[in-house]
Amino acid sequence: MSKKVAIVGAGVGGLAVASRLAHRGYNVEVFERLPECGGRAHIIEDRGFKFDTGPSFVLMPDFFEEIFSYCHKDIKDYLRFVPLDTHYRIFYPDGDTLTVYKDTERTKQELCRLEPRSASSYDKFIQEIGELYRRVRPLLYSCFAKKDLLNPSLWSLATQLKIHKSYWQIAEKYFKNKKICYALTFEAMFIGVSPFRTPSFYSIITYVDHVQKIYHPLGGMYEIPRALEKIAQEFGVIFHYRQEVKKISVSNHSIILKTKRGECAADRVVVNADYAYALKELLKRKLPKFTYSCSVYLLYLGLKSKLKGFEHHNLFFSRDLRKNLQQIFDDGIVPQEPSFYVHVPTVTDPSLAPSGKDIAYILIPVPNLKKFRGSFSSVEAQLRKVVIDAICQATGQNLEDLIEVEHRFYPEDFIKRYNVQYGATFGLAHTFMQSAFFRPPNFDGKQKNLYFAGASTQPGGGLPPVIASSRIVADLIERRT
Ligand SMILES: Cc1cc2nc3c(=O)[nH]c(=O)nc-3n(C[C@H](O)[C@H](O)[C@H](O)COP(=O)(O)OP(=O)(O)OC[C@H]3O[C@@H](n4cnc5c(N)ncnc54)[C@H](O)[C@@H]3O)c2cc1C
């Protein structure tokens, strides 16, 4: 009889593990507390607007292709990724802008406008982060244990990966203009960390953005979890929605999941729910002293008409980005003058809104709820106003007048809806001490047959690494069966 695997959570990580293992012949059941799949990659549909509420950038498309080919499926039968001609526009507080294009020559022209002769510096910068990427990429499909640190063949990695340098320092080496340094390191915020603190090897995100380019799945980001759920169902995975797992325990040779409806015994259990939450609440263990990523405050706006001056992805940088990041990551203060991101997917994909209308999804990084002890409601109105005013100033449009539909998502909603510890949107932070060997591994050190896949485990957060974590878990289970 085939082995039974139970998965806690139908986020992208859980769906990807389910598809892989069911394809390999395991008998897989998924328990999800919400009524639908996707986890943080969720969707709100309201009056003809389709708001993707979480991820908005598709980077590293090869990671998405990998899971489809692993399952002997053609990705084109499930998803249509289109490359964006304009990657994003950055709005600086002094009125300047910088646009990054798919066409590298156009991007270089933009950089040279801010810093003459920076085109050759850009080539050298891309070459350096490209070398980091080539070293890091194979590691993204590996699970390291702390004991691997004793392996001398891995020691040289520390020098090769320039662990003594920060993401910011790599950019600063090539460009004098701080606006360019910000433009080439802001991607650290994709994983919820500050570029001033994050190790240089995370600059591979800038590399994949600039070299492998940015994609959009037609129909919206939610098509991704939907496609993975479909594959899983084609292989016979059983989904138990609205079934929260309350406890994970061990009995004889099985692992038991306790839900409100009863108990389920499985030969293997994969936890896709947030790692820190699962340790504390499901396994009843003491939480190590983790560092958490930032949280975010989100506005999803359905607009009566088209927005002018925006690209698909837009970034607004505050006057003092360093102070802004310090407030979020060190001081636990909601910045009064925040940097923020505006996603207008209808630029590429008009199917996401009624004809002639636009979506504006605004993401504002704020401290996580371990750092921030105040009341968010006391700062919310001011924060929202500052952002809407900044958009008005940059584009000459009063966004407030255009709003037809509005939804909001607060830091505490990440706890209430997804069980994410401290509402830390991106899970455990990607500090040096929480990367590779030091990040929670994909297997449990104490309990045999218990595994972890998702943003807070190895290799890390973001859709491509989460999909890689599902491969690591599937391979570990196969190897140990
Ligand atoms: C606002 C935002 C923007 C982002 N932008 C990007 C981007 O542009 N590009 C990118 O690649 N990534 C982005 N990310 C990161 C990416 O979305 C996440 O890394 C990824 O979706 C996490 O997937 P996961 O499977 O690890 O976890 P989750 O999505 O959190 O899934 C875990 C699932 O477990 C369920 N669960 C929890 N507890 C229980 C329980 N006790 N019983 C049963 N079920 C349970 C939850 O409900 C959830 O469905 C973004 C994330 C957010 C929130």
> In angstroms, what is the span from residue 481 Cα to ligand 1's centroid?
28
> In angstroms, what is the span from residue 12 Cα to ligand 1's centroid?
7
Nearest to 111 by CA among 166, 189, 185, 181: 181
In this prediction, residue 108 carries a pLDDT of: 98
Q: What type of residue is 16?
A: A
CB 189 less than 6 A from any atom of ligand 1:
no
The minimum-distance atom of ligand 1 relative to the CA of 420 is 30
In this prediction, residue 1 carries a pLDDT of: 64
Q: Which residue's CA is the nearest one to ligand 1's atom 15?
A: 462
In this prediction, residue 20 carries a pLDDT of: 98
Q: Which residue's CA is the nearest one to ligand 1's atom 19?
A: 462
Q: What type of residue is 143?
A: C
CB 273 less than 6 A from any atom of ligand 1:
yes
Torsion of CA 236, 237, 239, 244, to 10 degrees: 160
In this prediction, residue 48 carries a pLDDT of: 98
> In angstroms, what is the span from residue 102 Cα to ligand 1's centroid?
28
> In angstroms, what is the span from residue 228 Cα to ligand 1's centroid?
14
**Does residue 243 lie in a domain region?**
yes
> In angstroms, what is the span from residue 468 Cα to ligand 1's centroid?
14
| 0.75 surpassed by pTM | yes
Range of the domain at 278: 4-79+220-289+433-480
In this prediction, residue 378 carries a pLDDT of: 93
Q: Which residue's CA is the nearest one to ligand 1's atom 53?
A: 54
**Does residue 118 lie in a domain region?**
no
Q: Which residue's CA is the nearest one to ligand 1's atom 50?
A: 55
**Does residue 130 lie in a domain region?**
no
CB 32 less than 6 A from any atom of ligand 1:
yes
CB 237 less than 6 A from any atom of ligand 1:
no
In this prediction, residue 99 carries a pLDDT of: 98
DSSP-derived 3-state class of residue 306: coil
Structurally, the chain folds into a number of domains equal to 1
CB 8 less than 6 A from any atom of ligand 1:
yes
CB 303 less than 6 A from any atom of ligand 1:
no
Terminal-residue alpha carbon distance, the chain: 13
In this prediction, residue 404 carries a pLDDT of: 98
**Does residue 296 lie in a domain region?**
no
Q: Which residue's CA is the nearest one to ligand 1's atom 41?
A: 245
CB 372 less than 6 A from any atom of ligand 1:
no
In this prediction, residue 220 carries a pLDDT of: 98
CB 13 less than 6 A from any atom of ligand 1:
yes
Choosing from 36, 270, 341, 463 the residue with most ligand 1 atoms within 8 A of its CB, the one to mutate for a pocket test is 463
Peptide bond into 338 cis (omega under 30): no
> In residues, how long is the chain?
481
CB 41 less than 6 A from any atom of ligand 1:
yes
Task: For residue 447, count CB atoms less than 10 angstroms from its CB and return exposed for 0-12, middle for 13-18, buried for 19 or more.
Answer: middle
DSSP-derived 3-state class of residue 288: coil
| Sign of the Cα pseudo-torsion (229, 232, 233, 234, in order) | positive
CB 9 less than 6 A from any atom of ligand 1:
yes
CATH no. for residue 448?
Answer: 3.50.50.60
CB 100 less than 6 A from any atom of ligand 1:
no
Rounded mean pLDDT for each run of 10 residues along the chain, 481 residues in total:
92 98 98 98 98 98 98 98 98 96 98 97 97 94 87 75 87 96 92 88 95 98 98 98 97 92 96 98 97 97 96 96 92 94 98 98 97 91 96 94 98 98 97 91 95 98 98 95 77
Other Cβ atoms within 10 Å of 433 Cβ, number: 12
- Residues in a beta bridge with 28: 5
The minimum-distance atom of ligand 1 relative to the CA of 245 is 42
User: What is d(CA 189, CA 183) in angstroms, rounded to the nearest whole number?
Assistant: 12
**Does residue 279 lie in a domain region?**
yes
> In angstroms, what is the span from residue 363 Cα to ligand 1's centroid?
16
The minimum-distance atom of ligand 1 relative to the CA of 15 is 25
CB 299 less than 6 A from any atom of ligand 1:
no
Other Cβ atoms within 10 Å of 387 Cβ, number: 21
User: What is d(CA 340, CA 476) in angstroms, rounded to the nearest whole number?
Assistant: 39
**Does residue 257 lie in a domain region?**
yes
**Does residue 22 lie in a domain region?**
yes
Choosing from 258, 272, 299, 472 the residue with most ligand 1 atoms within 8 A of its CB, the one to mutate for a pocket test is 272
Choosing from 40, 272, 274, 420 the residue with most ligand 1 atoms within 8 A of its CB, the one to mutate for a pocket test is 40
**Does residue 21 lie in a domain region?**
yes
Task: For residue 388, count CB atoms less than 10 angstroms from its CB and return exposed for 0-12, middle for 13-18, buried for 19 or more.
Answer: middle
CB 60 less than 6 A from any atom of ligand 1:
no
CB 364 less than 6 A from any atom of ligand 1:
no
